Structure 1
Amino acid sequence: MDYITAFWLAIVQGLTEFLPISSQAHLVLAGQWLGEVYQGLDFDVILHAGSLVAVITYFRKEIFTMIRDWMGAVSGGEKTKDSKLAWWVIIGTIPAGVLGLIFKDAAEGLLRSEVIMGVALIVFGLLLGLADWKGRGDRDEYSLTLKDVLIIGFAQAIALIPGTSRSGITMTAALFLGMSREAAARFSFLLSIPIIAAASLLSAVTLLRNGTEMPWDILLLGFVVSAVSTYACIHYFLAFIKRIGMQPFVIYRLALGGLLLWFFL
């Protein structure tokens, strides 16, 4: 892999990881377009590590408060809205974590096809549009109940289907539950942290066992570009989501899904 390919794959990762348009579909397509059918486990791990560092950095104050209050609550201290939110992030991660381990091979094998990605982009894009149109309310992430969190958590597990978009399906569920666009996005981003961290850790363990032939300068470039572009994407998405809504992403998903079906059916 050369520097140009590494740069553009990292840009694609950073700009699509937290937008509701499926980063996996874009990475597969970008890899094929750039002549790299699959960029390799080592580069995949480093791109996700960059995104993980970006989201943790962006929400560092919220994460610090959640961890501090959660640790205080479990040790017998006062329960706060942030300690409760920390529990919701933990509980909301469980469905995707368990089902991800069970169906990991199917998701990476049989389901990894352009046709399935195209169908998922369209179907779940329409659901996102419907949720943004009819379901959106004014609830924030602190108003979530256990039932709400489980619904969003199981929705996140659906993202095992390529083309679904983890952020897209969790925002869809949150909007149907009456959350505002900003709150749905914030909770989706917070919910992504344990999942991305766990997936990256498992992949990193495999990588350490097998070793890597990818040059370290290429890995470093991918990490930095992924982190910077992810941070910028989160910032501008949250800044403009109240005004632009989800409909531009819905239209994009329908167009991309249609193109995939046109070329690969």
Structure 2
Amino acid sequence: MDYLQAVFLGVLQGLTEFLPISSSAHLRIFPDLFGWGDPGAAFTAVIQIGTELAVLLFFWKDIWRIARAWLLSLVKPEYRGSLDARMGWYIIVGSLPIVVLGVLFKDVIERDFRNLWLIATMLIVMGLVLGVADRIGRNERQIKQLGLRDAVLMGAAQAMALIPGVSRSGATLSMGRFLGYEREAATRFAFLLAIPAVVGAGVFQLSEISNVGTATQGEANYGWGPTITATIVSFVVGYASIAWLLKYVSTRSYTPFVVYRVVLGGAVLILLGTGVLTA
């Protein structure tokens, strides 16, 4: 793998991790399309650290405020009714579905769910779901109105992203819009809810880092130099994409992402049907 490929994959990871278009789908589709081989679990685990750091840096004030209020609420009753303390519980409870299912079905996710037919179908289906949710969403609820039921439902939606092509942010945003939350409120909670899942996934796969530079059959051989380059690029691009998306959704719909998902999914299905790509 050369450094140009590393930069491309870093940009791809940074852009798609937070936009509702599925980073796992892109990292599965495009390396195959360009004949680079499957990046594999080790490479993916390392470059995800870049986007994880971007999330933590961008939301550090929110994370600190929520964590402090939550911890204080454990010993001081006067903090228990505050939005930040409640948000801490909502993030914890909402993260449980993806954590439990991710651990229980790790082998199935990494093996069976990487089928390109499934990924392309999920890109289209969940793209249409996002479009419908955004169109019928009532824009009447703000993040301060979030309750435990809604946190659980959005957490369950996030767990669907264990299937590549669904998109963690896309599934959470769709549920948020179905529940009547404003686009910015749904997007902000989707990012906060993703922190334990994204960081946890990276920590869970740290054992794979030692495998970078080696490759099994069907995987590309990624050395440490290109891997570190891709990680740095994914951090920079990921940070910028968070800021851009939060600003974008304040005034605009998710329609461009819906169109992109349907077009990409349809293109992959055509390429699979004609033999250009293999599942």
Within a 5 Å distance, the mapping from 1:125-164 to structure 2 comes to 125-164=127-166
- Distance in 2 of aligned mates of 1:118 and 1:235: 28
- Distance in 2 of aligned mates of 1:243 and 1:76: 39
Q: Following TM superposition, by how much is the alpha carbon of 1:212 offset from its aligned partner in structure 2, in angstroms? A: 5.1
User: TM-score if structure 1 supplies the norm length?
Assistant: 0.95
Match of 2:252 among 236, 239, 244: 244
**Number of corresponding residues:** 264
Q: Following TM superposition, by how much is the alpha carbon of 1:112 offset from its aligned partner in structure 2, in angstroms? A: 1.1
Sequence identity (%): 40
- Whether contact under 8 Å (2:53, 2:235) holds in the other structure is yes
Q: Following TM superposition, by how much is the alpha carbon of 1:211 offset from its aligned partner in structure 2, in angstroms? A: 6.8
Provide structure 2 residue ranges, at least 5 long, that are not aligned to the other structure. 215-221, 274-279
Match of 2:229 among 195, 204, 221: 221
What's the RMSD between the two structures over aligned residues? Answer: 1.5
Match of 1:87 in 2: 89
Q: Following TM superposition, by how much is the alpha carbon of 1:218 offset from its aligned partner in structure 2, in angstroms? A: 2.2
1:10 matches 2:18: no
- Whether contact under 8 Å (2:9, 2:27) holds in the other structure is yes
CA 1:42–1:206 in structure 2 vs 1: closer, same or farther (change >3 Å)? closer
Q: Following TM superposition, by how much is the alpha carbon of 1:205 offset from its aligned partner in structure 2, in angstroms? A: 2.6
Provide structure 1 residue ranges, at least 5 long, that are not aligned to the other structure. none
Within a 5 Å distance, the mapping from 1:1-265 to structure 2 comes to 1-77=1-77, 78-79=79-80, 80-208=82-210, 213=214, 214-265=222-273
Deviations 1:35-54 (A, max 9, x none): 32222333212211000100
Deviations 1:35-79 (A, max 9, x none): 322223332122110001001111111111001111111122522
SS at match of 1:139: coil
Q: Which amino acid aligns with 1:176?
A: F
- Whether contact under 8 Å (1:121, 1:164) holds in the other structure is yes
Deviations 1:63-98 (A, max 9, x none): 110011111111225222111111111110001111
Q: Following TM superposition, by how much is the alpha carbon of 1:162 offset from its aligned partner in structure 2, in angstroms? A: 1.6
- Distance in 1 of aligned mates of 2:44 and 2:132: 32
- Whether contact under 8 Å (1:43, 1:222) holds in the other structure is no
User: TM-score if structure 2 supplies the norm length?
Assistant: 0.90
SS at match of 1:111: helix
- Whether contact under 8 Å (1:155, 1:173) holds in the other structure is yes
- Distance in 1 of aligned mates of 2:208 and 2:120: 30
Higher deviation after alignment, 70-79 or 143-152: 70-79
Deviations 1:215-257 (A, max 9, x none): 4332321121000000110111111112231111111111111
Runs of 4+ in 1 over 6 A off after TM superposition: none
- Distance in 2 of aligned mates of 1:144 and 1:103: 30
